[in-house]
Amino acid sequence: AAERILKETIAIESDLVAWHEAEPLTGSKESAFRAAAAFERARRLAADLADAYALLFHAPAAQMGSALGLPPHMSSVFAESEVRASIPFQVSKIASLAVKALRRPAGAGPWDVLVGGRVEGAQLLSLPRLDPILLAETVKEIQRKSGGGSNGKFPNSKATSPTPIILLVNQASGDEELGPLTPLGLRAVILRHEIPHLSHLGVRARQEKVVFVTCDDPGFLASSGVEGLVG
């Protein structure tokens, strides 16, 4: 693993240096696009390193916390605090700023993917924030109006598990938990503003395998027709 990380780091550095020597990163659309891709690669590497940090610290912290009679969630908080104090966290922040600055010259859209993936047969719902109580109430209201059943299944669903849900969310602080939302059917999140990839929420999205994307252009969501699919 260490050898792979070293090779990946050298490759990213070589790409950026080579392109910058040939032409400024924003000198052309192609240069900006390639530079943005390199910074995206650096951000993914930083995320992998952050996950390794969290894995390294979580078990010892959980054991010590249990021995001291501390609440279980505190071990996760300790591991994440170590991640945020690490170099990969700072690299991720710098890479995110670079990617954002390069989007326009690269001709890229306003989307930022924290966790990629695919969700099929899902219901798109809109909420002001990531709140399990709000989501549960919204699902119940849809069932009531449509004469649906219980257990999170929508009227047209014959599955025994909850209908997959994609949430269009207005705002998030980055400290939210996704664990209480996934049993309700949450499979993906579209957030109307950016958040750091290694925020608490970003880390939880990767751990819970919830597809997570952000869009920093409110007008784009309206014009793209995404909002018209809510319901």
Region 63-67: mean pLDDT is 89
pLDDT of residue 163: 85
In this prediction, residue 56 has a pLDDT band, given cuts at 50, 70 and 90, of confident
Residue 62 pLDDT > 80, yes or no? Answer: yes
Place of tokens 């995320």: 47
pLDDT of residue 231: 72
In this structure, what is the dihedral angle of CA atoms 196, 198, 200, 202, given to the nearest 10 degrees? 80
pTM exceeds cut of 0.95: no
pLDDT of residue 183: 93
Indicate which residue of 20, 58, 193, 200 is catalytic: 200
Extract the tokens encoding 15. 């790409």
pLDDT of residue 59: 85
pLDDT of residue 25: 66
pLDDT of residue 117: 95
Length of the chain in terms of residues written: 231
The two beta strands, 211-215 and 165-169, are unpaired
pLDDT tens digit sequence for 150-196: 555 555 545 556 789 999 999 999 999 999 999 999 999 999 999 99
Among 14-18, 61-65, 131-135, the least confident range:
14-18
Are the beta carbons of 36 and 108 closer than 8 angstroms?
Answer: yes
Domain boundaries along the sequence of the chain = 2-107, 115-229
pLDDT of residue 75: 76
pLDDT tens digit sequence for 200-222: 899 889 989 999 999 988 788 87
Rounded Cα distance, 228 and 226, in Å: 5
pLDDT of residue 118: 93
Among the listed residues 49, 7, 69, 66, the one whose alpha carbon sits nearest the alpha carbon of residue 198: 49
- CATH pick for 115-229 out of 2.60.40, 3.40.1350, 3.30.70, 3.30.230: 3.30.70
The mean of the pLDDT values for the chain is 85
Region 5-19: mean pLDDT is 85
Rounded Cα distance, 177 and 186, in Å: 12
Rounded Cα distance, 74 and 68, in Å: 11
200 is catalytic: yes
Half-sphere exposure of 52 (CA within 13 A, CB side): 12
